[in-house]
Chain A
């Protein structure tokens, strides 16, 4: 069979996939397909492809999105990336803090028969949208310890932690400095008994409240 013959079969196969051939051409093609597995395979492929064509509306206009969408998406993915990274870092820092408390507990158990400290998780309120934070309390005989893990605070900014007692007395638990490239884990102690403490606040020295918890 010559190359010209195959050109002829291809012309018939392409057309047959989309429209009925005239009877003579149809008989000619059928006879060839019975003998030629290559052309038979082409005919099957093209018929399957042609069968899908009615699903499309080829005259539909290629509507373009608003040009601003591109940068809106870049910004949205960037925000998600930063938020997720911050949350992952916070979870890692919390795991480290929990392990440290566990080790303190193990040490306490090994050194003396008293039970080790337990973490009391507390829910934070008023946390700014771009800050991720987690807090837990440890009850001590002579006061209350706050384990605060916080990510996304303003770099270099001083923060003041204050406990509030049931009687409304404000008791300082100390200060720390914010960093913005990694989570800060602060362990702050206040001279207020756990069963007499009702809240704590984190604020800037000029009194701007950053987050708080009712405990």
Chain B
């Protein structure tokens, strides 16, 4: 899987950008996020013989490693005295905070993967609080079509989240 350069490239192409966004959101610094993604892949390679694809997807496994890398990195930063104004006060990132960001990143990735029509229906109704009739009018389609997109969009989102390793999505 990560056994050679081609395997590392394939894993990075599939999950690197998403891992980066996850690390960036928690560490708040592009350089630190890149270092964390690199450390994730190095640790993954070292632990590759313990990876069982029957138990977890590669994505789930990489994110479990990245989660630990970020917690370790934030502990190191929190223990370091701030030397410059931009260092600010770093609280160590709690596991709860990491898990919230993990969920947010998963949802945002899943939202990008479902169809445009379904995503539009969910965005307008769930996040903008509009009514299905209002959205239907704007699109020049029927209320029933928009509601149907909501149903299948939520189903597709759930399936995508499950494929990404989330088991608590109903």
Residue numbers of A with Cβ under 8 A of B are: 7, 10-15, 17-19, 42, 44-50, 52-53, 55-60, 62-66, 69-70, 72-74, 76-78, 80-81, 84
Instruction: Let me know if A69 and B20 touch, CB within 8 A.
Output: yes
A-B contact count (CB 8 A): 143
Please, could you name 5 A-B residue pairs with CB atoms under 8 Å apart, sorted by A? A7-B144, A14-B150, A46-B155, A56-B104, A56-B111
Contact indicator B42/A65 (Cβ below 8 Å): no
User: Which A residue's beta carbon lies closest to that of B9?
Assistant: A74
A6 to B108, CA, bound (A): 30
Shortest CB distance B93–A (Å): 16
Q: Is the CB of B112 within 8 A of A52?
A: no
Closest CB-CB distance, B103 to chain A, in whole Å? 5
CB-based contact B16/A65 at 8 Å: yes
> Do residues A48 and B169 form an inter-chain contact, with CB atoms below 8 A?
yes
Asked if B144 and A65 make an inter-chain contact with CB atoms under 8 angstroms apart, the answer reads: no
Cα-based distance from A11 to B155 in the complex (angstroms): 12
Contact in complex: A49, B154 (CB < 8 Å): yes
Contact partner of B108 among A18, A42, A56, A66, CB < 8 A?
A56
Question: Can you name 12 extra interface pairs (CB under 8 A) apart from A19-B132, A49-B161?
Answer: A15-B125, A18-B154, A46-B151, A46-B158, A49-B170, A50-B126, A53-B127, A56-B108, A59-B127, A62-B21, A62-B112, A63-B24
Contact A14 to B147, CB < 8 A, known contacts A46-B155, A49-B170, A77-B41: yes
Chain B contacts with A in 75-129, Cβ cutoff 8 A: 100, 103-104, 107-108, 111-112, 122-123, 125-127, 129
Given contacts A73-B41, A77-B8, contact A45 B104 (CB under 8 A): no
Question: Which DSSP category, helix, strand, loop or mixed, fits chain B's interface?
Answer: helix
Nearest Cβ distance between residue B38 and chain A, in whole angstroms? 5
- A84 to B49 alpha-carbon distance, docked (Å): 14
